[in-house]
Amino acid sequence: MLEIVNVSRRFGDFQALNEVSLQVQAGEFFTLLGPSGCGKTTLLRSIAGFDTPDSGDILLDGKSLLALPPEKRPVHTVFQSYALFPHMTVADNIAFPLRMSGVGKAEIERRVADVLEDVRLPDKAKHFPEELSGGQRQRIAIARALVNRPRLLLLDEPLSALDAKLREQMQIELINLQKEVGITFVYVTHDQGEALALSHRIAVMNKGEVSQIDEPSLLYSSPKNRFVADFIGQCNLLDGKVVSCDGATTRITIDGLGELAVQSNPNIPFNVGDDCALTLRPEKIRLAKSVAPESDEVHFPGTVHDMLYLGDVTVYIIEVKRDGHPVLIEALLANSAPGRARLLDTGDAVEICWPRDAGHLVR
């Protein structure tokens, strides 16, 4: 198990990491997710040993790693640029960590062949990295980092250099490979879609701090704050003030929408008068020329302000004007039925509604 305990790191005026603590379970696929400059790469480099925290500790199975130089840590990294040695064949690249730890010749040969089998490139042993495609290089870099079975594999945006189609395929391969080898993966990315697809748990980081650690589905459905709600997926963030709290239901007033009832957030206690934000996923909003709201739904008229055709869905930006102050709300319609794409047009009068428990209240 990997434990990060109160790790801080400062570069001049820039606080890269601020009292970061988290735990990664053995065998877990754990992702550090955040925008550039959030500290995720600094944290990864600290675990690998390329950077030393100013304070705090990093423990692997209860033992501190900080005193060990990178070459002594039972941790390997898959670098963003792959960092394959261009003057060595694929087999020599993969054999490198084995040779460094003095493994015998026959054993090296067997294990290189095994791991090439694992990444499904058994016939590339004699090739040089420059003769391989991007996806193949990626797999060799992973094979090299896995071959002497580290306790922990660190992956630094390993898929960012691949095109979208290949990236999706590699994501599936990564999930399967991690299941197969059972090694703990710590994965760094700024791509929230990738993080949701791959991870058992995700730590969302912002400005050197951990915003939230949760499973992908919880992160998506119950963000703890505005930053997480906004960063993970598409989200409407409606600013407002708490009017009354009554157990399961909280009444809030939102600028432009007026007062409405929403489900209370059991994890965040609100007082009357507190600032709050309602996070509302576009796919939770019903949208049509006219809708008949159910009894537990809130309901607003509006006009189509903008639309964005994305193939599978069309995103509509709806302008709602209730008390003078216009509010833009994003909603979407699936393009499954023929002709649906042009169902609504810019300027059309529409109606939107969403269930009371669809929104999620955050500070």
Partner 1 sequence: MKNGAKALLTLPPAVYLFLFFAVPGLLMLLASFRFPGDYGGLAPWYYVEDGAITFDLTLENWARLFETTLYLQLLLKSLLFAVLTTAICALLAYPLALTIAASPKKHRDLLILMVILPFWSNFLVRIYAWMIIFSPQGALTEGLNHITGLLGLEPVNLMFSSVAVITCLVYVHLPFMVLPLYANLEKHDPALLDAAQDLGATRAQRFWKVTWPLSLPGLYAGAVLVFIPTLGIFAIPDLLGGTNGIMIGNVIKQQFVESRDWPFGSVLSLVLTGITLVLVVLAGRLGRTPGALT
Cα–Cα separations (whole angstroms), residue 47 to 42, 66, 75, 82, 151: 9, 8, 8, 18, 12
- Closest to 196 in 3D by CA, of 216, 221, 224, 213: 216
Quote the least distance from Cβ 8 to partner 1, whole Å. 23
Quote the least distance from Cβ 126 to partner 1, whole Å. 11
- Residue 328 CA to residue 333 CA, distance in Å, equals 16
Quote the least distance from Cβ 176 to partner 1, whole Å. 24
Query: Would you say 128 or 221 has its CB closer to partner 1?
Result: 128
Backbone angles phi, psi at 27, to 5 degrees: 80, 5
- Residue 241 CA to residue 276 CA, distance in Å, equals 6
Query: Would you say 128 or 299 has its CB closer to partner 1?
Result: 128
Contact 191, 40 (CB under 8 A): no
Quote the least distance from Cβ 109 to partner 1, whole Å. 18
Quote the least distance from Cβ 299 to partner 1, whole Å. 56
Quote the least distance from Cβ 152 to partner 1, whole Å. 11
Query: Would you say 12 or 247 has its CB closer to partner 1?
Result: 12
Task: Name the DSSP letter for residue 82.
Answer: -
Query: Would you say 46 or 206 has its CB closer to partner 1?
Result: 46
CA-based R_g, the chain, Å = 25
Query: Would you say 31 or 148 has its CB closer to partner 1?
Result: 148
Query: Would you say 69 or 324 has its CB closer to partner 1?
Result: 69
Query: Given the structure tokens 């002709």, which residue do they identify?
Result: 339
* Residues contacting residue 56 through CB under 8 Å, at least 6 positions apart: 4, 5, 6, 7, 8, 19, 20, 21
Query: Would you say 14 or 85 has its CB closer to partner 1?
Result: 85
Quote the least distance from Cβ 141 to partner 1, whole Å. 8
Cα–Cα separations (whole angstroms), residue 105 to 111, 122, 239: 10, 18, 65
Contact 309, 342 (CB under 8 A): no
Give the footprint of partner 1 on this chain (CB under 8 A).
48-50, 69-72, 75-77, 79-81, 83-88, 96-97, 100-101, 128-130, 144-145, 148
